[in-house]
Chain A
């Protein structure tokens, strides 16, 4: 029974997909704008989220109630999952197993989006309204819209930096290293905390900075075709070298193997840690930690990556998790209504201190400092059509996990003298593995 139903659903969606392809790039406007009569939209939908904390504190319940004021006939069931990435990836092997509205797991390659998610409309058209579309656009169609986005940069404890006597923020890696030295000499704080043991703070948080160094919106795309990206002049070289130098000069935590993320928030708030490389999403969490530690929220400062091109500084901004609609959903209009309501009408991004995907929405207040210091917010360009998966494929193939933590942990080990090699030999090894994958894939 279930099989037949699933098969019928698949056949139906295949037909819809075929219809859409037949239309080519012609518009699918009804999906992009809210349906005309909200009361006509009905059905039960399931929403999968990684934010179990918002489930515990009743935020999702509040949103569902607000949503039901507008759409009284849609029943939303929120399902939180603390191990979101792994669980949802497994559940996606069952057509009806991954809810109706969900956050796209990072492990799904772009070329697989059309197999799993409903197109939300043409990318060109949606781009008029929404930011951050590039990573979830395949073949001119949009498969996900960001539930908020972040600026990427460096979190610093304003109090500690002031204590060290630093008055202006660094604008080059050398200045940054010099400032860290000053902090080490003049305060008791750990100048830069890597969060090595938890791992993930060494992954995407650093790679997301690609583009901030050169201000080139194609910097990340170019990496997928560069056979030796760890060469002086590229963004990734500048970023990884900064990490290497900081560790090598003893400016990071003494024993990286015993770091602890939750504890690091409190240590940052209480001034035991001066700096961490994290996206702007962390600001709200760190301000809360500061409050718990009895410190003012203004202790949490945010700066762009220390680099500049002709005096101009850049900070990349990108979508966080992207909302998508399950292709096999039985209640697609209801699912799309919830997706658009969350993004367009709810105060989610505002309350989380994130950048809204809606272009007309104002920037969150926590990025005011960044704007005031004249930093340009930079959104990266989409990959070449048809080659959206190239970068992630190259990373998988070469086992240089630019979105993971394994290679940067190795880099830290080399830098602190616990593994063989030096900066040159380590970068040469990375280039060899990456280059091999680039030639294998082209």
Chain B
């Protein structure tokens, strides 16, 4: 990510362009009256017109911002409000209980212990980044069918999470695709991929890896490709091996993307939802915090309590992001 921005900055910095340059260019090709009007508007035109000009960006922003407020901030604010009530999801919301819900989230081990399950997904996200980085590096060099392989690796990310859940549900069935494949290589007594509590979380985390590797891959690939080709050329001339090129050019060049991926991995593993919800419904010891939140709000009809849990998760994710900002404070990457 850092490299493209520096590139753009460089471009802007080297050309002595004033902002007006871009505006005057199209004007040249248009008819004379429009040019005159344009010129007039810029200098001595009526005040109403320039006010409208000044307002235009805000008017354009009005639509997305109002949608954002209506669909994100307003419901989120409501959720914070619910978290201070004992609302059951129906009827008037008028009984405020202060911080009692929050107290319970932190005091009752039933709520916080499920974060242990996140560790499986967190560990899996390293595997995921490793695989993504490996393929991104290989496919950033000229390779036969490289576009085809890029497509294949990115493809799972495009599939709907619910569909993936069902696909893997059949894969993991006893005597399903997985067991059949294993029997070809001589594994005759495979475990129950979802039925065995010691295996279930690994199966789910592996599904998650399959799904999200494509996203990491594309992020890494984009970053790697923005590294100037001259660096590789120079490295080749200096006799650097592929591994040395990776170690000293690619890895430092994409450090910030790796850092961001880490944060996404932590936030993602704390809020895993779709895969366990579809595949096991949180049964057999696979309940994550979000699945637990859903059960609390809609199965036990404790919407207030569920909202408090959601707010707690939000705060944790914000904290993690803040820590990341402190650790990777806008550092510049210098490849030269």
Contacts and interface: CB of A to CB of B under 8 A. Distances in A.
A98 to B, nearest CB: 11
Given A107-B90, A257-B284, A419-B285, A399 B192 contact: no
Given A109-B88, A413-B197, A418-B196, A396 B283 contact: no
B37 to A, nearest CB: 45
Nearest to B296: A399
Interface in B174-196: 174, 176, 192, 194-196
A86 B298 contact: yes
B134 interface: no
B281 A399 contact: no
Contacts of A255: 173-174, 192, 194-195
Interface stretch (B38-46, B71-79, B299-307): B299-307
A418 B285 contact: yes
Classify the interface of chain A: helix, strand, loop or mixed. loop
Contact of A401 (B88, B110, B299): B299
A92 B90 contact: yes
B281 A197 contact: yes
Contact of A258 (B89, B169, B285, B299): B169
Contacts of A256: 195
B90 A258 contact: no
A410 B174 CA distance: 21
Interface in B50-75: none
B195 A254 contact: yes
A404 interface: yes
A418 B90 contact: no
Nearest to A417: B197
A171 to B, nearest CB: 32
B97 to A, nearest CB: 13
Interface in B99-143: 110
Contact of A413 (B174, B283, B296, B299): B283
A346 B154 CA distance: 56
Nearest to A403: B299
Interface in A389-438: 395-396, 399, 401, 404-406, 409-410, 413, 418-419
B82 interface: no
Interface in A243-273: 254-258
Interface in A194-222: 196-197, 199
Nearest to A111: B91
A418 B284 contact: yes
A165 B89 CA distance: 52
Classify the interface of chain B: helix, strand, loop or mixed. loop
A107 B298 CA distance: 9
B192 A257 contact: yes
B173 A258 contact: yes
Nearest to B93: A93
A419 B194 CA distance: 14
Given A404-B299, A413-B285, A418-B285, A258 B174 contact: yes
B302 A419 contact: no
A93 B283 CA distance: 31
B178 to A, nearest CB: 11
Given A89-B90, A93-B90, A399-B110, A257 B300 contact: no
B225 interface: no
Interface in B193-207: 194-197, 200
A108 interface: yes
B301 A258 contact: no
Given A197-B283, A257-B194, A396 B300 contact: yes
A360 interface: no
B255 interface: no
A129 interface: no
B300 A199 contact: no
Interface string B251-268: 000000000000000000
A115 interface: yes
B300 A401 contact: yes
B301 A396 contact: yes
B301 A406 contact: no
Given A93-B90, A404-B299, A406-B299, A419 B174 contact: no
B289 interface: no
A405 B281 CA distance: 10
A108 B200 CA distance: 35
Nearest to B298: A86
A147 B127 CA distance: 55
Contact of B197 (A108, A395, A396, A419): A419
Which of B195, B281, B282: most chain A Cβ within 10 A? B195
Contacts of B300: 395-396, 399, 401
B2 interface: no
8 contacts: A92-B90, A107-B90, A112-B91, A254-B174, A258-B172, A399-B300, A401-B300, A419-B284
Report, nearest first, the 4 A-B pairs whose CB atoms are least far apart.
Answer: A418-B197, A255-B195, A257-B194, A409-B283
Given A257-B195, A401-B299, A419-B197, 13 more contacts: A92-B90, A109-B90, A115-B91, A197-B283, A199-B283, A254-B174, A255-B173, A258-B172, A399-B300, A406-B282, A409-B283, A413-B283, A418-B195
